[in-house]
Chains A and B, each alone.
Chain A
Amino acid sequence: MIQLESLTKQYGPTTVVDGVTLAIASGSITVIVGTSGSGKSTLLRMINRLIEPSGGRVLIDGHDTSATPVHLLRRKIGYAIQGHGLFPHRTVGENIATVPRLLGWSAARIQARVDELLRIFQLEPAEFAAKFPHQLSGGQQQRVGVARALAAEPAVLLMDEPFGALDPIIRGKAQQDLLDIQRRFGTTVVLVTHDMDEAFHLGDHVAVMSQGRLLQYDPPALLLTRPADPFVSRLTGTADRSLKLLSLTTAGEAAEPGVGEGPSVPAAASLREVLSDLVWSGATAATVMRSDGTPAGRLTLAGILARGRAG
């Protein structure tokens, strides 16, 4: 649990972050979105005190972060940034080992952890551990950056536009990797982005920032159905909000009992994809199939459309 209490940052007369209060549940992914200059990066960097707050405080699991020496605090919090920030003079293995070394882990334990993380990120240790960052592709560098942030098994991972420099296909893969890893380790992730689609795709909760203020902090669906501020509607966009809303629910979650006619769709597919399927095939209902091939229920066109409306 991370609690931000009236967190404020002022540079002279300018207030960059203005009294933000919010609570982040352990094991969840919270995405902070906003336009540039909204204070979202500053808010994130106050959590590990890369920026010292002018007012308010940050509690992690009930402990005030200002009570811990700043370098010891940061060693317990993973940190990944846009453009990865890998150390160019150190190998991939040495980069990942950075925080475990600072914490004084044994060489054997560090080695095992580096190998484990490389495997999780689909980088064969024998091939990649001894390479230098410049010998990797952009996507590989980004994966090493996240692996390095996770090396000391932190309970909290802060990510500042981690996928901003990646092309769309690699970005989609990186987002999926992050979801898998977050599920695997149960890490509490706080991620900053200006990409609304990324926020909707990744976030359990989304915090919308504008001009230093927190406008809304809710699950993605509520941002669409009950925007707290006209700015939130502008940011999420109103033209395709029904489709966005449908994309937040999977076929498995929405399936009604009964066996349907029409095409079969995977339970993991979003309602948006099922709708597209139905429009394409001209059918009015679909059968939802679990990944093991058993039917999970059915979806009708009318049922899907009802879920695309507010309230």
Chain B
Amino acid sequence: MTPTPPPLHRIDRLGALLGTASIAAVAWLPFVTFKANRIASGTARSLFEVLPFGTALAVAGIVVVVAAAAIGVASPRSRLAAAIVGIAVVALALAAAAADLTPPGNRLVRVSPGVGCWVLLLVQALLATDALARLRPGPGLRVLCLALTGAVLYAAFALGLFDQLSIMREYAVNAGTFAREARQHVLLATGSLGAAVLVGLPLGVLCHKVPRLRAATLQVLNLIQTIPSIALFGILMVPLGALATAAPWARELGVSGIGAAPAVIALFLYALLPVVANATVGLGRVSPAAVDAARGMGLTGRQVLTQIELPLALPVIVTGIRIVLVQNIGLVTVAALIGGGGFGTFVFQGVGQTAIDLVLLGAIPTVVLAFSSAVVLDALVDVMSRAPQ
């Protein structure tokens, strides 16, 4: 019997697709968009137009090497390293291009990443996350990776590496409000989540104990979920506005038809369904034998709930909280429409002024915030599920 030799270069399908895309992006798609001022229409520039030929060639060469690694290298560690190098090189090339294209002292010209640059960053980020996923890191390591990425990004921004980029120009103009809106965004998202957990968890327990209540409650909460967020904000404006007019104490508490009050209430209503549903499902999956044994040994009803049922249902409950948090961080953006504040403020200002950079200044932090919360809470669920079921 002759042993079949292992294939020397097995082609990775996902890698082939992404690698080809990145090579195409560097060859044919514009690397940056150059605008004479904030609202002027931009002109697309390729990598070789904006960087000295030698530098551009080096960047293109590295992109090709990363693509080749994605296609032909099997080791996830090497793939991850290649993708990280690729991202760093593209980011540095972008920073260099912005610095080169901006005349010294000029605060008007805008240099933003072009389609090709976005494709390169996206493709290489996908390669990096794919390689990370293949390494199957534990929950602690995943959070550490997130923290490291955050630290590197923070250092890059603190060093002013991207200061000449259009988004950072917008940031410089809005630096004062950015911190305030960021805090407001986080407060709205976590505040409504906290209220939803406080109300939803007992409601979920009640639904678990009283099956007749379960169907009705979940149907009502499902109905709320189908109301579009803008409509729900609008619906809430009327009664809250009336309340603020009629009751001075409510006005003193900051309740009014617009602003944070309707935003928090709407987010709270949206958050109830995942919290209640997951609590009910989680409690329903607890082994009936364990509950029977607990009661039979003389645990009181409260002890059965707090010592047996809730700890066993916790991973499912936290999964619900994760869903709510990520959903809330996205929905808070819409709250800016009714004066709720948050990153949505920049998005809607940007839309109003047709200033895409300002839109991105609101959108990118929202995505980063949602992604980071998902990673952290997923890790938390993993840790808790590892405690045997």
| A binding-site residues for B, Cβ under 8 Å | 48, 50, 71-76, 79-89, 98-99, 102, 132-135, 145, 148-149, 158
Contacts and interface: CB of A to CB of B under 8 A. Distances in A.
A135 B387 CA distance: 12
B61 interface: no
For the complex, would chain B's binding face be called helix, strand, loop or mixed by DSSP majority? helix
A81 B297 contact: no
Given A89-B387, A99-B298, A132-B388, A83 B289 contact: yes
Contacts of A86: 290, 293
Interface residues of B, number: 19
Which 10 pairs show the lowest CB-CB distances between chains A and B?
Answer: A85-B293, A75-B298, A79-B296, A74-B298, A85-B289, A132-B388, A71-B298, A83-B289, A134-B388, A71-B300
A98 B299 CA distance: 9
Interface string B348-389: 000000000000000000000000000000000000000111
B298 A81 contact: no
Contacts, number: 70
Contact of B389 (A74, A88, A99): A88
B125 interface: no
Given A132-B388, A133-B388, A134-B388, A85 B290 contact: yes
B252 interface: no
Given A84-B289, A85-B290, A88-B290, A99 B388 contact: no
Nearest to A149: B297
Contacts of B137: none
20 contacts: A71-B298, A74-B297, A75-B297, A79-B297, A81-B289, A81-B296, A83-B289, A84-B293, A85-B289, A85-B290, A85-B292, A85-B293, A86-B290, A86-B293, A87-B290, A87-B294, A89-B389, A98-B294, A102-B303, A149-B297
Given A85-B287, A85-B293, A87-B308, A72 B298 contact: yes
Contacts of B292: 50, 81, 85
Q: Which of A48, A82, A87, A102 has the most CB of B within 10 A?
A: A87
Nearest to A48: B296
B312 interface: yes
Given A85-B289, A85-B290, A71 B299 contact: yes
A81 B295 CA distance: 12
B52 interface: no
Contacts of B296: 48, 50, 74, 79, 81, 85, 158
B311 interface: yes
B297 A98 contact: yes
A50 B312 CA distance: 22
Contacts of A50: 292, 295-296
Contacts of B290: 85-88
Contacts of B312: 88-89
Nearest to A70: B298
Interface string B280-323: 00000001011011111111100100001001100000000000
Contacts of A145: 293
Contacts of B311: 89
A269 to B, nearest CB: 37
Contacts of A79: 293, 296-297
Given A86-B293, A87-B308, A88-B312, A102 B298 contact: yes
Contacts of B289: 81-85
A289 B290 CA distance: 47
Nearest to B294: A87
Contact of A99 (B295, B297, B308): B297
A284 B5 CA distance: 74
Interface string B114-158: 000000000000000000000000000000000000000000000
Given A89-B312, A132-B388, A134-B388, A102 B299 contact: yes
A72 B299 CA distance: 9
Q: Which of B296, B311, B312 has the most CB of A within 10 A?
A: B296
Given A74-B297, A81-B292, A81-B296, 13 more contacts: A50-B295, A50-B296, A71-B299, A74-B295, A75-B298, A79-B297, A81-B293, A85-B294, A87-B290, A87-B294, A88-B312, A89-B311, A134-B388
B283 to A, nearest CB: 14
A132 B388 CA distance: 7
A68 to B, nearest CB: 11
A81 B290 CA distance: 10
Contacts of B387: 89
Nearest to A78: B297
Contacts of B303: 102
A74 B297 CA distance: 5
A255 to B, nearest CB: 43
Nearest to B296: A79
Contacts of A135: 388
B298 A88 contact: no
A89 B290 CA distance: 10
A95 B289 CA distance: 14
Contacts of A148: 293, 297
B296 to A, nearest CB: 4
A81 B288 CA distance: 11
Contacts of B294: 85, 87, 98
A271 to B, nearest CB: 38
A151 to B, nearest CB: 9
Nearest to B288: A85
A73 B308 CA distance: 20
Nearest to A74: B298
